Amino acid sequence: MLIIFIKTVIIALLVFFVIRIMGKRQIGEMQPFEFVITLILAEVACLPMNDPYIPLHFGIVPIITLAFLDVAITFVGRKSIGFRSLIDGRSVIVVDKNGLVYENLKRTNMSVDDVLMSTRSCGYPDLSSVAYAIVEPNGKFSVIEKESDPTEPKPAYRPLPVVIDGKPLKDNMAVAGITEMQLTKIALGGGLKRLRDVLYMDVRQDGTVYVSPKRRPCYTDKVGIKGGNNW
């Protein structure tokens, strides 16, 4: 028991020292390679602590190696932008002034629902008010609001999604009191061939419709609705 106690104290102090070298970051702020090193670090640190027959150096050597690897990668990343981009990745714009960026959504393996949830969590429930939404290399989501006249009051309309990935949302359409024929007409009016070319469409209580096609700039339209007071 004394051996396990001593090994545990030594490994714990060494891991603490290594974490201090890696920098004070929360899990959500780590770059991908830092997160991987942290996972491996936790695993190798447990080996000599759990088994009294495993020599102490079986844990110390991997921990020191991982610490050196982290410092080396960070140092090279400071000197080389290309290497840093290769290791950390780059920021990806998933929403710009033209709406949702379809190709970048596929690149980041994100769905429209993922983007809507992330923008709402950043305090922007209305996608039409977003100038840029960016997925950072560490997975964080950043939103830049469109410039607007501060003297004009913002309407308190809550967007109701009615089309996502070209598929009409029947329940929401029923709430708004609009038909698929009306949505198709809006899509055709924006130069699209069919409703399936719409990546995202929502409607507001005043009948304003925001449309973000897959490969065209976003636009707005108007539609007559019957359920404007239902949401």
Q: Give the pLDDT of residue 75.
A: 86
- 90, two tokens: 């780059």
Model pLDDT for residues 165-224, shown as the tens digit of each residue:
999 999 999 999 999 999 999 999 999 999 999 999 999 988 999 999 999 999 999 998
pLDDT of amino acid 156: 63
Instruction: Indicate whether 113 belongs to any domain.
Output: yes
Round to whole Å and give the CA distance between 2 and 45. Answer: 18
What local confidence, expressed as pLDDT, does residue 67 receive? Answer: 87
SS3 205: coil
Average pLDDT of the chain to the nearest whole number: 86
Quick one: 171 and 217 in the same domain? yes
The pLDDT, as a whole number, for residue 116 is 95
Range of the domain at 62: 2-87
19 pLDDT more than 70: yes
Q: Are residues 74 and 109 in the same domain?
A: no
Q: Which residue has the higher pLDDT, 142 or 52?
A: 142
Domain count, the chain: 2
What is the reported pLDDT for 227? 59
Asked which of 44, 64, 87 is the last residue of a domain, the reply is 87
How far is it, in rounded angstroms, from Cα 5 to Cα 165? 57
Contact present, 59 and 44 (Cβ < 8 Å): yes
The pLDDT assigned to 213 comes to 97
pLDDT of residue 153 exceeding 70: no
- The candidate with the shortest Cα–Cα distance to 87, out of 141, 28, 31, is 31
pLDDT value at position 21? Answer: 75
Enter the tokens of residue 176: 């708004």
Q: How many CA atoms lie within 13 A of 203 on its CB side?
A: 29
Same domain, 81 and 130: no
Which pLDDT tens digit goes with each residue over 93-108?
999 999 999 999 999 9
Same-domain status, 107 and 135: yes
Q: Could you give the C-alpha distances from 61 to 15, 25, 46, 56, in angstroms and in order?
A: 12, 24, 13, 9
Q: What is the mean pLDDT of residues 7-27?
A: 76
Domain end among 59, 87, 115:
87
CATH number for position 116: 3.30.240.20
Same domain? 137 vs 199: yes
123 and 149 share one domain: yes
Cβ pair 92, 104 in contact under 8 A? yes
pLDDT value of residue 152? 59
pLDDT at 113: 95
Same domain, 125 and 197: yes
pLDDT exceeds 80 at position 125 = yes
Highest mean pLDDT among 86-90, 122-126, 151-155: 122-126
Query: Are 71 and 32 members of one domain?
Result: yes
b or e along 82-115 (b: 16 or more beta carbons within 10 Å of the residue's beta carbon)? eebeebbbeebebbbeebbbbebbeebebebeeb
